[in-house]
Chains A and B, each alone.
Chain A
Amino acid sequence: ETGVTQTPRHLVMGMTNKKSLKCEQHLGHNAMYWYKQSAKKPLELMFVYSLEERVENNSVPSRFSPECPNSSHLFLHLHTLQPEDSALYLCASSQDWTERGNTIYFGEGSWLTVV
């Protein structure tokens, strides 16, 4: 089993739908992240959670709502998205958010298409 698992791998949703992306890490890490990867743009950090508390929110629109029920699970709830939100959403984890030397581990991503 891989260290960071994301489901679903592919999601197509209408602009009025509500869906969720799920991430689970099996590495015993304390920090989890959501990144967005759009075509021809660098990876953008969306949210950071440390020990289930949100520690960073990078000016992300409220139509994206994260949830971290425990240190090994992270969700991204999606509501009334726009076509420009279509992207690869990557979840990641690291041992400790405050330890900057830690390696960060990524999941395989969830491809989201908004129609």
Chain B
Amino acid sequence: KQEVTQIPAALSVPEGENLVLNCSFTDSAIYNLQWFRQDPGKGLTSLLLIQSSQREQTSGRLNASLDKSSGRSTLYIAASQPGDSATYLCAVRGRSGSEKLVFGKGTKLTVNP
């Protein structure tokens, strides 16, 4: 059974700092991995989708990497801003069986002005 772990559970940084959020998964047989952002009391917004054949994806100040063999992904946020404060969730989609996404519990990020 696929399990997704995100460490740390919470992170507080000063504005302007570069930071890395971590995601690990137990079954490397994945189809893709997706990073989402969730603002308090709101739904999820997709940030980056990495297919299993890809190593990384970039969007603006965000860069996500995937190392499928080690079961790890990182989300790099450059020059963090207070508006980046949110919970970041990682989810993987399996290659076999059901199509469902398996989510981690998320990392709650606070960027202090």
The 8 Å CB contact of A104, one of B4, B46, B102, is: B46
* B29-58 interface bits toward A, Cβ cutoff 8 Å, 1 = contact, 0 = none: 001101010000111111001010000000
Q: Which residues of A contact B100 (CB under 8 A)?
A: 45, 48, 56, 58
CA distance A101 to B31 in the complex (A): 8
Tell me which of B89, B99, B102 has the highest count of chain A C-beta atoms within 10 A of its own C-beta: B99
Q: Which residue of A lies closest to B51 (CB)?
A: A101
Main secondary structure of the interface of A (DSSP, over half): loop
The bracket for how many chain B residues form the interface is: 20 to 34
Judged by a CB distance under 8 angstroms, whether A49 is at the interface is no
- Which of A13-21, A36-44, A62-70, A71-79 binds B? A36-44
Residues of A participating in the B interface, judged by any CB pair closer than 8 Å: 4, 6, 40-43, 45, 48, 56, 58, 88, 90, 92, 97-98, 100-101, 103-109, 111
